[in-house]
Chains A and B, each alone.
Chain A
Amino acid sequence: MKLLMKEWKLCMHPTGYIMLLCAALILVPGYPYGVTCFYMGLAIYFICLTARENHDAAFTLMLPVSRPEAVKARILLCAGLEVIDLLLIGLFILVKGAAGSMPNPAGLDAGLALLGEGMILFAIYNMIFFPMYYRDINKPGKAFGFAASAMFLWIVLEVAGTYTVPFVRDVLDQPDPRYMSDKALFTLGGLALFLGGTAWSIQTSAKRFGEVDLSL
């Protein structure tokens, strides 16, 4: 908890808050809503970039903490931001639904399945970005490049899927409350992937960070 507070007070970059506002893009008609998750990925990259510029690793590792604890705190901070982002996305989905949602031609509609999609996107990001980042904390840009590319590829597949894949087109991309049980299952699957992927990311990143020589 102390480390998490340290991450928040010393490493949090303002874009972390600003990008949360991007959840409001859900209100924009005809927009690939998965992109809102990409903005949070960008904020996480800025957090890690700022940490590098502030010699955060040297500061943290001189505190009475271990390397795995430091890794866990950073990833939990970022996962916390992702969860808040998902909650805000959920809130704007409700707002949009109350205002009368229109079908989205640029990907999934703003509905329950979009939350599941967001969880999958964050799981992909966490599983690629952090293990790469903790192999060399001086190169967050490289890790971000790979993680963001994977996110975009998944978003492209999602958008294409709403036109070509029957389950996506005829079930997930239908307005709520149609097919709610299928969408709920999809979202639960996304949640499982998000939780499991983030836990795997913590474990793998901590192992890698424990093995590297730090050039501080």
Chain B
Amino acid sequence: MTYEVKIPLEVRGLCKNYPAFRLDEVSFRLVPGSITGFIGRNGAGKTTTINSMLSFVKPDAGEVRFFGLEAGEHEAEIKEKIGFVSAGMTYYTRKKLKAITEVTKTFYPAWNDTAYRKWLGAFGLDEEKTPAELSNGMKIKYALALALSHGAELLILDEPTSGLDPVSREELVEVFLKLKDEGKTVFFSTHITSDLEKCADRILFLQNGQLKADDGLDSFREAWRIAECGQEIPAEIRKAARGRCRIREGYTVLLPKEEAPAGAREATLEEIMIHLEKEADEA
């Protein structure tokens, strides 16, 4: 694959050192027109990765390319093609949405007012309101409306569904699927893996600053099985067992599919993540 096909994002060997944490040689690339879930527990390095990609923090090593363009050298050109939405950030809480939009649109030559009106209507947003008057879900939708109206082809979302009720999360998942249908690429960090089960094509799993998995959602899930055990883990699977979680009847363990006993069931994304984290904790 060459850059001519416009890989929306390619990260190579990204490193960032903090006194108590190291983002270690993270590398991946996104497939155009897909939804990629970026999972890992709190503190795994998801936000550090995103902040490094967006130059909010300076990586110690590594290369980030958006649409084939080196991030540091083509900052303005790249930012015209991407949108960033973070659940934790609310901009200008006391300004009307109208005022924020009026300022924002001046920076984008490709701003499309018709598209903006369309997204406002689709999301049920009232421009006369301030961000302080919006629910968390509506704030994210407003940020999405801005990004989509300036023609963003890649949407980077940092924990967009955190703190939302199940109905709002479902609505957002539907929005992401709609964006995918329109050919947009979505990069979506979360620790609420059930949202990804509904919409993601690929999964990146980050653990303690290291990328442990970069796979299609189905093949990632297909590679693992869950075995429910009593109080004792049977000897024949003890060696292959990855992580042990307490349940009411005893324990569950994660096993590679080829080593799973008869009766083992398919694993959810959440179960895979939790068991692999348990294994890391036990180690």
Contacts and interface: CB of A to CB of B under 8 A. Distances in A.
Interface of A: 2, 5-6, 9-10, 53-56, 58-59, 61-66, 211, 213-214, 216
Interface string B72-100: 00011101100110100111110100011
Contacts of A53: 93
Interface of B: 51, 54-58, 75-77, 79-80, 83-84, 86, 89-93, 95, 99-100, 102-104, 106-108
B57 A58 contact: no
Contacts of B84: 62
Nearest to B86: A58
A6 B79 CA distance: 17
Contacts of B107: 2, 6, 63-65
B91 A64 contact: no
Contacts of A65: 76, 79, 107
Given A55-B90, A58-B56, A66 B75 contact: yes
A64 B76 contact: yes
Q: Interface majority SS on A: helix, strand, loop or mixed?
A: helix
B106 A59 contact: no
20 contacts: A6-B106, A10-B100, A55-B89, A55-B91, A56-B91, A58-B56, A58-B89, A61-B55, A62-B54, A62-B79, A62-B83, A64-B76, A64-B79, A64-B80, A64-B107, A211-B58, A213-B51, A213-B56, A213-B58, A214-B57
A10 B79 contact: no
Nearest to A53: B93
A74 to B, nearest CB: 14
Contacts of A62: 54, 79, 83-84
B28 to A, nearest CB: 21
Contacts of B77: 64
B103 A9 contact: yes
A19 B97 CA distance: 27
A59 B51 contact: no
Nearest to B76: A64
Contact of B57 (A55, A63, A213): A213
A112 to B, nearest CB: 39
A54 B106 contact: no
B103 A6 contact: yes
A64 B151 CA distance: 13
B86 A54 contact: no
A56 B93 CA distance: 11
| A5, A6, A58, A64 pick with most chain B CB within 10 angstroms | A64
Nearest to B108: A64
Contacts of A64: 75-77, 79-80, 107-108
Contacts of A58: 56, 86, 89, 91
A54 B93 CA distance: 7
Contacts of A5: 103, 106
Nearest to A6: B103
A10 B106 contact: no
A194 B60 CA distance: 38
A130 to B, nearest CB: 20
Nearest to A216: B56
Given A5-B106, A9-B99, A214 B56 contact: yes
Given A10-B92, A62-B54, A65-B76, A2 B86 contact: no
B144 to A, nearest CB: 13
Contacts of B92: 10, 54, 56, 59
A120 to B, nearest CB: 34
B182 to A, nearest CB: 21
Contacts of B76: 64-66
Nearest to B89: A55
Contacts of A59: 89, 91-92
Contacts of A211: 58
A213 B55 CA distance: 8
A211 B56 CA distance: 10
A10 B95 contact: yes
B111 to A, nearest CB: 11
Nearest to B107: A63
Contacts of A55: 89-91
Given A64-B80, A65-B107, 20 more contacts: A6-B107, A9-B102, A10-B95, A10-B99, A10-B100, A10-B103, A54-B90, A55-B89, A56-B91, A58-B89, A58-B91, A62-B79, A62-B83, A63-B79, A64-B77, A213-B57, A213-B58, A214-B57, A216-B56, A216-B89
A198 to B, nearest CB: 24
